[in-house]
Structure 1
Amino acid sequence: MPHTRRSLLGGSLALPLGLALSAAFAAPALASPAGAPAFTRSGRPVARWGTQSGEVTAHSATVWTRSDRPARMYVETSPSESFRYGVRRHGGPFLGPATDFTGTTTLRDLPPGRQIHYRITLADPDDPRRTSEPVRGTFRTTPVSRRHDVRFVWSGDLAGQGWGINPDIGGYRVFEEMRLRDPDFFLFSGDAIYADGPIQAAVPLPDGRIWRNVTTEEKSKVAETLDEFRGNFRYNLLDQHLREFYGQVPVLAQWDDHEVRNNWYPGQLIDDPRYTVREADVLAARARRAFGEYFPVTDLRGGRDEGRMYRVMRHGPLLDVFVLDMRTYRNRNSPNRQAEDPVGILGPEQLAWLKRELSRSRATWKVIASDMPLGIVVPDGATDFEAVAQGDPGAPLGRELQIAELLRHVKHRHITGTVWLTADVHYTAANHYAPERAAFGDFEPFWEFVSGPVGAGGFPAGRLDATFGPRTAYVRSAPVANMSPAENPPYYGEVEIDGDSGELTVRLRRQGGGVLFTKVLRPGLVGQA
């Protein structure tokens, strides 16, 4: 790539934002990490939760921050890390209690395929001379030329099963390792928080050691109120490695079940003594609003009904990423063996959208970001199932019917370059699907790559359902359920597309352990085993 990026997060001072923002910056004390921020009229605003970027295109991007008090958000951009030339100023919104003091600004008219440096300053709305120390970030705009390489990383499941920010092991160190890979973006494949997973200060490990967690009030119980959901997002941002990662790597965030609660589905009534709110739909609406407030996803801010989780991100001529939502539109979890299932796991509207957008895509590679795996059996209790597969190796039934319809569409429309990426099951694997091994054979072969967790309990590998003919080329998993990240270090995946050849390389990685598995796929071909 023509541009490289260095770690530039820190507290260096911004150039003036006009006369109103020309006062010298002070270094205020840190606000409490829990709850809505307490503030006074003295001092200056603080953006202690860092910054994020997302929705990056060739000419625009959205940047995010949070203030510790009411403030006005201002952004400066420059092609120079030192901000010595080409500085542009962008006005931003008022950050107040309605959005938990978070806000986004969309930066426009940016040059394509370039490194953009930005810094955010917060100003007291009553006295614009009182301004924050700036928080800095950077991103690369999407290229318009095929000659640009593309690299991104993906994983999911953070702070799950009670394993939170452990200062004894340096917190979420995997994010520092991923940051040093210098990816163009991070695909966060669901379970970005565990709203149903309280964090305790100390957890005994099997060998007698004690796992210590940073704790907050909101993480002491299951999330039910909007403020408790917000507090779950704030919890992860207490980690310095995650904040620095977000400041350098744009995030493409997906959601799954634990943003609300384990294995939820629309219309579910919760039978769990930890909850006073029994309607999963009520919890989901609050979780959705907090998700939109804490990620740079502009059409979800405020929880507006017209916003949706599924979307496509176009990353130049080489790559389109189709981010699915297998949670919001699904039917109830069941034995999943019905002969007809128009709702399925995607819902009819999302399925139609996906088929339409795949047909329209002219990208060399179409990555389908699925928050759940296709052929791995994921149970929900003794008789019900969570994902697509249900263990019946015969013809498609239940939610498998929608996947069969989609795979048939891909084949008959001659859509090439589809690759499935997922997380969810808390181990890493490479699964190849082929019609000659399948009960349903009207599709072209494809790969599904699994990676995670990025910071949760590790679990043994699940069994495969033969309906679509999966075969495991590689798997690495924990030997027992819920191994801590200290015993089972985090997994993440990396995708790299060569701008000259168009070849796509997938690497399954482990924190501190290097590359576990590599697969190179050539463009335009099918049946690459």
Structure 2
Amino acid sequence: MTQLGRHLDRRTLLQVGAGGVVALGAGPALASPALVRGRIDLTSGVQTGDVTTRSAVTWARASRPGRLVARVVSGRSTRVVRGPWATAETDFTAKIALDGLAPGREYAVELAFEDGDGNLGERQTARFSTAAVHPARTSFVWTGDTCGQGWGINEELGGLLGYRAMHETRPDFFIHAGDTIYADGPMVAEVVEPDGQVWRNLVTEEVSKVAETLTEFRGRHNYNLLDHNVRAMYADVPVIAQWDDHETTNNWWPGEVLEDPRYTQERSVDVLAARARQAWQEYMPIADARAHRRDHGFAPARIYRKVERGPQLDVFCLDMRTFKDENTPGLEKERTRILGEEQVDWLIREVRRSKATWKVISADLPLGIVVPDGPVNQESLSNRDPGAPLGKELEIAEVLSAFKRHGIKNVVWITADVHYCAAHHYDPSRAAFTDFDPFWEFVAGPIAAGTFGPNEMDATFGPEVVFSAHADTPNESPRAGHQFFGHAEIDRDGLLTVSLRDITGAVLWSKDLDPA
């Protein structure tokens, strides 16, 4: 990190410590530490993630080696959990997986690192509520695309304001549907916009070039956490994180070898993706296989997963990158992979087993939007051919047919990726492929990146564009206000209200969906 980045980090921490971090008072094991030189500071705020009815994951990053300690408080109940050591092997990040939590309860988790002598450093509090068994309501927000196309943290404009707007809706959780960073998008200190205004980025060493080394990938994630809006939201709103392409490089697939001359140290995508995956996992509060262990390091987390949010809602997160076949025109008569056989089987099985009223499938790529990768090839599953499913479309056709065959109702798809927002209704009466029940797909993003769109639609599954909001010009600056997120709320009776909103939080479009 550059001197500028270090200076901002310290200043932000001082502001948070003075203005908002709540100490939880005396209790077992977390008596106030002496303020001495060399204490372990929290460099990047605190986070929680994958919060269900009875479990959660907590996250923090230390300024030097230390053991993560969590003081978990709910009402009169208090317990202290000592987690793993944070070392250079995990970029000084650490997580604690909490289980045995009570449904429908508010929790305050005070996080700190202790040194080898048991001295505790700086403390910050993360707050969340577990999913209730009989919720009066539940809500969440989703979006994607953070700090892309060279548009980074502009402190003159208040930083990443989209995160503040999402936070102000007071959601129960946040789904980041991919492109959590832009490892392939270098930033410069100043960008002259088409109207002559100057966009001024905060710049650190790691974001000044494409990420190739593990340090550079880590630096991209740490950059986003320099923003006070992001840190405030993550301390208060649990995240469900996914990844897409820009965590590694644009439109990648396994086995690809880059021809991009900006990559001077490493052009094997498999090598880059392994480093990207490690950094992503270190910085995301995702439940790791060894998060409860006291040693450092984590087994690779499976990105596709189900997060249970009580009787009204199950969230199914997809991974449309790890198992993906090469980008082609997409016209193969045989099935090619975007999910892979194992994930297809998992999705059908787990959605079928779900007893929740609503099944929300969060996909890191859209279903019916054409996303080109050059003049011929396709990045997503759509192929511009309006006929019967071909290539990667065949996997989604299998999923949709299975949902119909098993009588699965109340399935909604959400996504980001394309840098505009839209509401799509899919119906077999308009489609070349007809073996499925009608459903909705809602698109929302970017939250802090260049705005584009609208894209061409592929007619194979019969989409109708009911609403869209997009850029006036390609790669429009966030200053224009065309930054988007989605908001969903389920009431006691199961009514699902989905709205698409802009960077101010204003509702652009809304739809009520009654459960079947």
TM-score range relative to shorter protein:
over 0.9
Q: Is the 8 A contact 1:429 1:451 kept in 2?
A: yes
User: Where does residue 118 of structure 2 map in the other structure?
Assistant: 128
Could you say which residue in structure 2 is the equivalent of 1:351? 344
Which residue of the partner structure matches residue 456 of structure 1?
449
Give CA-to-partner distance per residue, 1:240-264, whole Å, 9 cap, x none. 1100100000000000000000000
Q: Which residue of 2 aligns with 1:43?
A: 38
Mean Cα displacement is larger for which, 191-200 or 299-308? Answer: 299-308
- Specify the code of the residue in structure 2 equivalent to 1:123: E
- Matched-pair contact (CA < 8 Å) for 1:255–1:371: yes
**1:467-504 deviations in Å (ceiling 9; x for gaps):** 111001100000211001001432000010012x2111
Q: Deviations over 1:67-106 (max 9, x none)?
A: 01011211112125xxxx4322111211111111000112
Q: Does residue 387 of structure 2 align to residue 409 of structure 1?
A: no
SS of the residue corresponding to residue 248 of structure 1 reads coil
Match in the other structure for 2:276: 287
Matches within 5 A, 1:301-340: 307-340=301-334
Within a 5 Å distance, the mapping from 1:62-461 to structure 2 comes to 62-80=57-75, 85-125=76-116, 127-129=117-119, 131-145=120-134, 147-275=135-263, 276-299=265-288, 307-341=301-335, 343-461=336-454
| Partner SS, residue 384 of structure 2 | coil
CA contact (8 A) 1:340 1:397 kept: yes
Shift of 1:18: 4.8
Q: CA–CA distance in 2 between the matches of 1:473 and 1:387? A: 21
Q: Confirm or deny: 8 A CA contact 1:324 1:371 kept in the other structure.
A: yes
Question: For 2:22 and 2:512, how far apart are their aligned partners in 1?
Answer: 42
Please give the secondary structure, in 2, of the residue aligned with 1:164. Answer: coil
Partner of residue 31, structure 1: none
Task: State the percentage of identical aligned residues.
Answer: 49
Residue identity in the other structure for 1:223 = A
Q: How far, CA to CA, are the matches of 2:391 and 2:276 in structure 1?
A: 28
How many correspondences in the alignment? Answer: 494
| CA separation of 1:306 and 1:96: change in aligned 2, threshold 3 A | closer
Structure 1 residues 49 and 17 mapped into 2: Cα distance closer, same or farther (>3 Å)? Answer: farther
Distance in 1, matches of 2:273 and 2:38, equals 37
Deviation of residue 12 (structure 1)? 4.3
SS of the residue corresponding to residue 515 of structure 2 reads: coil
| TM value normalised by structure 2 | 0.93
1:497 to 1:15, Cα distance in 2 relative to 1, 3 A: same
Correspondences of 1:461-472 after superposition (within 5 Å)? 461-472=454-465
Query: Aligned-pair distance for 1:360?
Result: 0.8
- In structure 2, do the counterparts of structure 1 residues 12 and 408 end up closer, same or farther at CA, with 3 Å as the change threshold? closer
Pick one of 4, 10, 21 that aligns with 2:20: 10
Contact kept in structure 2, 1:13 and 1:25, CA below 8 Å: no
- Tell me the amino acid that sits aligned with residue 363 of structure 1: A
- Asked if 1:514 corresponds to 2:502, the answer is no
Give distance in 2, aligned partners of 1:120 and 1:513. 30
Distance 1:321 1:298 in 2: 15
Following the alignment from structure 1 to structure 2, what is the Cα–Cα distance between the partners of residues 468 and 18?
58
Deviation string, structure 1 residues 293-318 (Cα, Å, up to 9, x no partner): 00111327788675321001111011
CA shift at 1:177, angstroms?
1.6
SS in 2 for 1:50: strand
By how many angstroms is 1:13 displaced?
3.9
Aligned partner of 1:3 in structure 2 is none
Contact 2:143–2:484 (8 Å) recurs in 1: yes
Q: Does the 8 A contact of 1:458 with 1:488 survive in 2?
A: no
Q: What letter matches 1:77 in structure 2?
A: V
AA matched with 1:10:
G
Q: Secondary structure at the match of 1:157?
A: coil
In structure 2, the CA distance between the partners of 1:513 and 1:114, relative to structure 1 (3 Å rule), is: closer
Alignment RMSD (CA, Å): 1.8
Tell me the distance in 2 between the aligned counterparts of 1:103 and 1:306: 14
For 2:92 and 2:80, the matched residues in 1 are separated by: 21
Q: Which amino acid is the alignment partner of residue 100 of structure 2?
A: D
Residue 504 of structure 1: aligned partner:
496
* Aligned residues of 2:146 and 2:179 also touching (Cα < 8 A): yes
Q: Equivalent of 1:56, from 48, 51, 60?
A: 51
Does structure 2 retain, via aligned residues, the 8 Å contact 1:375–1:464?
Answer: yes
Q: What is the CA-CA distance between 1:176 and the residue it aligns to?
A: 1.5
Q: Match of 2:328, SS? A: coil
How far has the Cα of 1:17 moved from its partner?
6.0
Question: What CA distance in whole angstroms lies between the structure 1 residues aligned with 2:282 and 2:381?
Answer: 30
Residues 248, 273 of structure 2: 8 Å contact kept: yes
**Residues 10 and 136, structure 1, Cα contact 8 Å, conserved in 2:** no
Residues of 1 paired with 2:26 and 2:61: CA distance? 20
**Structure 1 residues 411-433: Cα deviation after superposition (integer angstroms, max 9, x where no partner):** 11100010000000000000000
**Counterpart-to-counterpart distance in 1, 2:414 and 2:77:** 38
Q: Distance in 1 between matches of 2:127 and 2:298?
A: 28
- Unpaired segments of 5 or more residues in structure 2? 1-15
**1:34-77, Cα deviation, whole Å (9 max, x unpaired):** xxxxxxxx521100311000121222211000001011211112
